[in-house]
Chain A
Amino acid sequence: MSSLYGIREYSRIAEIRGPLLIVEGVRKVSYDEIVEVELSDGSRRRGRVLDISNNIAVVQVFEGTTGITTTGTKVRFLGRALELPVSEDMLGRIFNGLGELIDGGPEIVAGEKYDINGSPINPAIRAYPEDFIQTGISAIDGMNTLVRGQKLPIFSGSGLPHNRLAVQIARQASVKGQNEEFAVIFAAIGIKYDDYIFFKKFFEETGALNRVAMFVNLADEPAMIRLVTPRVALTLAEYLAYEVGMHILVILTDMTNYAEALREISSAREEVPGRQGYPGYMYSDLASIYERAGRVHGKEGSITQIPILTMPNDDITHPIPDLTGYITEGQIVLSRDLYNKGIYPPINVLMSLSRLMKEGIGKGKTREDHSQVSDQLYAAYSRGVELRSLAAVIGEESLNVNDRKFLRFADLFEKKFLKQGIRENRDVETTLDIAWELFAELPEEELTNIKEETIKRYHPKHRADI
């Protein structure tokens, strides 16, 4: 053993199992401490202490254990948890999944270091999110409104246009009456190179690159790093939001890859598995990422999170989307059916939800009729969709006149309200007006979710009267 400035080095590796090293004869090693592994060829890897008992440490190696030998390998315990030096200058730069600069540009003058695991925000100091973010997308603004400080994931399927949607949101997101733009922190978690380039190009084209920090772990890079990447990204986000006072939009993609890495490490540790092999603590683990969104009293900034995940087999009950939905403040669900019908964005509004919508809309924020319009859209569209499946069995002609109107409503809704261009930025008034045009297709007495005076003011028929 040699000890230098709190750094201790050991070389007795008893076992290598999956991404884990079991190191013996260690002393004064602490839980969650960061480790540097030096291979016999002099190359270095990083790791972290997962379990420590008297003199045995279980170390998870982020870059994987391929090529590590039990002899000739040195393991250095660095005497601290994994930290990220943060600074405002990190915007406009590109980092690897551990937070190390990789864009070849000049070094950044390192700021203060923060533990990447963060600490839970005191619930008593949170400020309830309520500032409407206009995304320019009708299905979101009209029916699943995003607010500043919310965590609203996109549940997608492989091959669906979630990246395009995320980019459209990032481009168009604005808060009414404020021209301050969001700074974007983008965490690529095990995604394909193409997808990464798609995002990078977009940020370059929009000239937004100097307001974006990218943390990149690609599909062919070590999986264990994925457990670190979102935390590194959020550590910078917290600094910028709560110390510098900026409004931050964090895009995390793809959280499914994160969860897979979590499962891998859990099975290497031979833990009792929960559902489908994912560890029982996956809920708490995911929460330690997603809950790092929000606003707090006494601080200017905010963190809005848009995690993206692909649902294995498009199954929303799969543990990854399921546990995510239990933590996030709603979800935007993409539908393969709509996509195949040629509808962009293919948002299944019935399965989607924004839990923070009610505080972000209404008079003074969007428009007074907003919540009633949204309720009515849901009621009418869901009835139309139900009748669609009924009509498929018993034939459209067996439906009565009224029911057929709802059927038509559902079609119009998808074509006129949902569907829009990838560069089409609708303001919320336009979104609501489109809804009223659709309501005009229904008998007025079917608008049971809307108050009389609201109908009088906004229904095209009555507007025409004035």
Chain B
Amino acid sequence: MRVRGRIKRISGPLVIADNMAGIQMYEMVRVGEERLIGEVTRIKGDMAYLQVYESTTGLKPGDPVEGTGSPLSVELGPGLLGNIYDGVQRPLSSIIDYLNKIGSRRSIFVERGIDVSPLSRDKKWYFTPSALNTGDSVSSGDVIGIVQETGLIMHRVLLPPGIQGKVSWIAPEGSYSIVDPIAEIKVNGEVKEVYMMQRWPVRTPRPYRLKLEPSEPLITGIRIIDTLFPMAKGGTGMIPGGFGTGKTVTLHGLAQWSSANVIIYIGCGERGNEMTEVLERFPTYKDPWSGKPLMERTVLIANTSNMPVAAREASIYVGVTIAEYYRDMGYDVLLVADSTSRWAEALREIAGRLEEMPAEEGYPSYLASRLAEFYERAGRVKAYGSPERVGSVTLVGAVSPPGGDFTEPVTTHTRRFARVFWALDTSLAYRRHYPAINWISSYSAYIDTVSDWWSKNVDPEWKAYREEIMGILVRENELQEIVRLIGVESLDEKDKLILDVARMIKDGFLKQNAFDPVDAFSTPKKQFELMKLIIDYYRDATKKVEGGTPASRIKELLGRLYVDIVKARFSVPNEKLEMIYKLKKEALKAISSA
């Protein structure tokens, strides 16, 4: 029996309805004559407090409210990849088609009350069943067949969680829609139909067999990230920064270049044009790991800053549920959310309308636990079912602190749960030092986790070089303090050399232009060789300085080679690393006469 009540009060995205006895917490509801989508966020007596995912303009007390009987859920199945959804998984491209079809003149807008299924019911997918026979025992998570979803991703059709039984029928190889049955499973004497599509409530994490430690780096091609503050597959990270410091460009970079199989990109309360940028570019950009168009591995969730705020709160959960679904197939998934601050603000706005007791800066007291729950959905896991599969969800969230102040609640709470901290620095951004990731205040908890991989796959000396480059940067930071007070001349020669080399590191290694075709993506090998070039030069130069040569003389001897070194990041393509070796030879030779 569906619960039917009436609107009692409307205040922004919050609607209070009465006569709602029997409604469940977090149940999805339909509100008003236009049947707007909403969700129950509090129940008091026979009153339900609803957050409505569309504009509430025009709703009236007395309008009907109807329960749907189930919590807010997403549709999971082939057809997700390459798609763009709003915060409650309404398909934004299909909405345009739909509005055009009905002859709407306002088809460029997202109007209210539009009901279009997230996944196409008409499209046929070519399904190849697993080697299963009638009578075989199967349980949830088992791969019952495969579908080539895009050129890049083989969709493994999984038996939904909670099903265990014997196969009574499995569809032969062929084309099916997601609502055609593809198997029948006998569960306790009852036959259940299985489809390529399943539903899952977004606020409940999908189950897995076992959580594993992250072990491999998620290579991003961004040097300061991979080399200095690495991310691991299944890890968590945050990227806080004031406006214009480079959060979005960095997240776009991660979405473009990362060594993940599937990317979930959530535009949470940010600009419409940034979603457009992904939509327009990704189909034409190639995945550096497979050469296929990037859109084939990407799902976009868009709740732009002018779209309804309640759906912003939901968008994060919609995204992470889709991420878990591909993880369960055995894929490495990267989810980026730009920006989690807007999600937190949505939470604050709704809490405020519910007249809940605010904690710091008006945020509800459960902000921290919600953040914890979200980041807890990251991880590398062994999935349920056979064949055995290991997949991961890596979560990276942008944080937009008011006034760029990192002591505000969202930044401070997120720091407790994210293990990589890429701190963006306004003063670096003003100088156009991009990425403006501050190398002193950033950190990664995965350095030891990934160093095995680097020494096996790139160079056994990776960790030693990394430490040396960090050492120079830390020392330079101390020296700058002194220089600001008394100038460079009072430093000793070794310290002057450090200043010179640090500039080389900053200009030639840390800076990375996301829009330069050569510079934007560095292979691990190129990253290492650039680092080695500078450090080997530094080691030789240090010996000369210790032997009495002034740092300025070393710089003179290096001459124009200095420019060649700092330009190598954009003048040496990934596949021409011999240019770096040659450069190093010349540089070491140039200073050898000192």
Identify the A interface with B (CB < 8 A). 28-33, 50-55, 81, 115, 117-129, 242-243, 271-275, 280-281, 283-284, 287-288, 291-292, 294, 296, 298-299, 317-319, 322-323, 325-327, 329-331, 350-351, 353, 355-356, 358, 371, 375, 378-379, 382-383, 386, 390, 393-394, 398-400, 445, 448, 451-452
Nearest-neighbor residue (CB-CB) of A114 within chain B: B106
A237–chain B nearest beta-carbon distance, Å: 14
A327, B430: Cβ atoms closer than 8 Å: no
A283, B61: Cβ atoms closer than 8 Å: no
CB neighbours (8 Å) of A325 from chain B are 242-244
Identify the B interface with A (CB < 8 A). 8-12, 16, 55-62, 84, 92-93, 95-96, 105-112, 242-244, 267, 269, 271-273, 275-277, 279-280, 302, 304-307, 309, 342, 345, 348-349, 352, 358, 361-362, 400, 402-405, 430-432, 483-489, 507, 513, 515, 559-560, 562-563, 566-567, 570-571
CB neighbours (8 Å) of B275 from chain A are 123-124, 126
B235–chain A nearest beta-carbon distance, Å: 27
- Residues A317 and B273 in contact in the complex (CB < 8 Å), given A31-B60, A281-B349, A327-B305: no
A284, B349: Cβ atoms closer than 8 Å: yes
Nearest-neighbor residue (CB-CB) of A33 within chain B: B58
Bound CA span A322–B244, Å: 11
A126, B243: Cβ atoms closer than 8 Å: no
A444–chain B nearest beta-carbon distance, Å: 8
B92, A379: Cβ atoms closer than 8 Å: no
A353, B306: Cβ atoms closer than 8 Å: no
CB neighbours (8 Å) of B400 from chain A are 326
Pick from B110, B349, B484, B507: contact of A448, CB below 8 A: B507
CB neighbours (8 Å) of A448 from chain B are 507, 563, 566-567
B272, A119: Cβ atoms closer than 8 Å: no
Bound CA span A227–B437, Å: 38
CB neighbours (8 Å) of A28 from chain B are 60-62
Q: Interface majority SS on A: helix, strand, loop or mixed?
A: mixed
A448–chain B nearest beta-carbon distance, Å: 5
28 chain-A/chain-B pairs, Cβ below 8 angstroms: A31-B58, A52-B60, A53-B16, A53-B61, A119-B109, A122-B95, A122-B108, A123-B267, A124-B95, A126-B276, A128-B280, A271-B352, A272-B362, A275-B361, A280-B352, A280-B362, A284-B306, A284-B309, A284-B345, A287-B306, A291-B272, A299-B108, A323-B402, A378-B432, A398-B488, A399-B487, A451-B567, A451-B571
B309, A128: Cβ atoms closer than 8 Å: no
B60, A29: Cβ atoms closer than 8 Å: yes
CB neighbours (8 Å) of B349 from chain A are 280-281, 284
B576–chain A nearest beta-carbon distance, Å: 16
Bound CA span A353–B307, Å: 25
Nearest-neighbor residue (CB-CB) of B404 within chain A: A317
CB neighbours (8 Å) of B55 from chain A are 117, 119
B429–chain A nearest beta-carbon distance, Å: 8
Work out how many contacts link A and B, with CB atoms closer than 8 A.
217
A294, B362: Cβ atoms closer than 8 Å: no
Bound CA span A408–B57, Å: 59
Bound CA span A296–B515, Å: 24
Nearest-neighbor residue (CB-CB) of B12 within chain A: A281
Bound CA span A265–B376, Å: 39
- Residues A280 and B345 in contact in the complex (CB < 8 Å), given A119-B111, A128-B280: yes
Most buried by A among B271, B309, B486: B271
A125, B58: Cβ atoms closer than 8 Å: no
